[in-house]
Every structure is written in structure tokens, then in C-alpha cells.
Amino acid sequence: MSEAQKGTFAVKVGLAQMLKGGVIMDVTTPEEARIAEEAGAVAVMALERVPADIRKEGGVARMSDAEVIKAIKQAVTIPVMAKARIGHFVEAQILEALEVDYIDESEVLTPADDEHHINKHNFKVPFVCGCRDLGEALRRISEGAAMIRTKGEAGTGNVVEAVRHCRSVMGAIRKLQTMDDDELYVYAKELRAPIELVRQTKHLGRLPVVNFAAGGVATPADAALMMQMGMDGVFVGSGIFKAGDPAKRAKAIVQAVTHYNDAKVLAEMSTGLGPAMVGIDCRASNFYSYAARSE
């Protein structure tokens, strides 16, 4: 990384830190964006369909129409993120030109490149990327991701994969901290990650960028679970907008993330929310994994 790149990267990482402790909500319309802002979301994520609908309808999922992104930007005062397909650096250029606040290079959309992710150092706008384990997180950071989210399985309303990916990242960081510095070279090879980032992660005892939970969070209890497990914040999409009362659930999830250690508040936030989204069993034989279709 050049000196100029390092400076820009530090600014992007710092910007993402400001979202810590918050909930970021997927939205497809300005109306949904207003519900999210009203509920206390720290940012919204513009996408053409929430992941549950992408799963149901199938087809190729792409970046949202620019008109929708502009309307969402107009509708709210909080930061607006938007999704680009993995490896689709032109979608990312367009999103940067639209002046979104963050780009999510997302496995929820249909990947555009099977092998290569976007070189995120080429952009001024910060990127968030998904991971299932520590190696994947550090590879994305080496490409310039300023924020990480564990992938989970978006659109399932099932928190099991979010928990698995969180445990995988956290467990590997704990293992790293028990290692002698001389052992890091081999571990870095195993992780397929740059030694410098492995060293930095050991030293910090955490990822060098914020790490949010994503994919399958559907209730205030799910959101608090991810926070108690050490995540920095939570992304929620289908869990809110496929539930009976999105506005009420959105507010309850924000409160649950703020008071994630207070069971009394969590009990209150879990009261009278109306029906949660119908979930999907990730162990079913016909289950299609979004998390596994890109590295």
C-alpha cells in the first residue's frame, strides 16, 4: 500500500467506526428508508430487493436503479450505503458517482466475477465486505475493505449461519493471541492472508476494522445475541421488512442492540411485535447458500 493509500484507508476505517453500536437496515424504497431512520438506524443499505425476495424470485440480482438510490438519499439524513456485485467495479464506480456513503460488495447480489473482488483501494468511498472466517476477512481488508460483516445467510430469518461465522472469526482471533510471533508466518499462509494484517489482528485482539453481524437476524434477541458475542453492530433487512410490523420491529431491534446486555429491556423489546418473518432451515437439502458462492 502506498503512503497516500494508507492515509485514505485510515480515513475510511475511521468513518466506519462511527457506525459502531448501531443497526444498518436494508431498504428498497424511500418509504422504507424513512421507517429505518425513524427507528434509529445508523445507516440504510439501498438494494433492489430484500434478500428474502431475491431468494423467492431468483434471477440475477444487481445494483439498484440509480433513481431509487437518489430518492433514498433525498429521503433520509443518515448515511446511505448501496450494494454492488462482487467484482463489478463499474457498478462501484457508478455508486461512487452517485455519492453514496459506503459501498457493500455483496454476495447477496449475483457475483460478477468468480475469482476477483474489487480493488477497493481505487475508490475514495469506503467499502464493506462479507466474510465467513478470519482469513476471508483479512483478504477483503487487504483489498481495501474498511468495514467487515460476517455473512450469515441473508434472507433466511435464521441466525444460525451468522452465529457460525461470528464464532469462526472470534475463535481464530483468540487462537492467534495464544501464538508465538514466530508462528504467525505459517498461520498467515493457512489463512491466505498478509502477515502484516495477521500481526496487527494479534496485537489488537480484534479485526483492524469494525465487524458487523449480517444475514438472518430477525428478532431483538437475535440482534442482542450477536452483540453479546462481540460484534460491533448489526445489519438487518428481511427480518424487518418481511415481518408483520416493520416499524415496531425496527425500533425494537435498535433498542436491543443499544441495551444488548440488559435482559429486562430485551424482554420489553420482545413483547407484542406481531409475526416475525417465516424463516428457512439452512440444513434443508435444497438450501442454496449465498455465503458459499463467493470466497
Ligand X SMILES: O=C(CO)[C@H](O)[C@H](O)COP(=O)(O)O
Binding site for ligand X (CB under 6 A): 26, 45, 50-52, 104, 106, 108, 149, 154-155, 214-217, 235-239
- The residue type at 236: V
Residue 227, all three cell numbers: 452483540
When the beta carbons of 1 and 278 are compared against ligand X, the nearer one is: 278
When the beta carbons of 184 and 269 are compared against ligand X, the nearer one is: 269
Closest CA to 255 of 265, 243, 242: 265
Beta-carbon contacts of 191 under 8 Å, excluding residues fewer than 6 positions away, are 134, 135, 138, 172, 198
Exposure string of 225-243, with b = 16+ CB inside 10 Å and e = fewer, is bbbebebbbbbbbbbbbbb
For residues 272 and 238, the answer to whether their CB atoms sit within 8 Å is no
CB of 6 to ligand X, least distance (A): 26
- 235 forms beta bridges with 24
CB of 233 to ligand X, least distance (A): 11
When the beta carbons of 39 and 52 are compared against ligand X, the nearer one is: 52
When the beta carbons of 161 and 187 are compared against ligand X, the nearer one is: 161
Active site residue 189: no
Torsion on CA atoms 128, 160, 270, 248, rounded to nearest 10: 40
CB of 263 to ligand X, least distance (A): 23
Catalytic residue among 73, 83, 151, 242: 83
CB of 246 to ligand X, least distance (A): 12
Q: Give, to the nearest 10 degrees, the angle between helix 30-39 and helix 246-258.
A: 40
Rg of the chain, C-alpha, whole Å: 18
Tell me which residues are annotated as active site.
Answer: 83
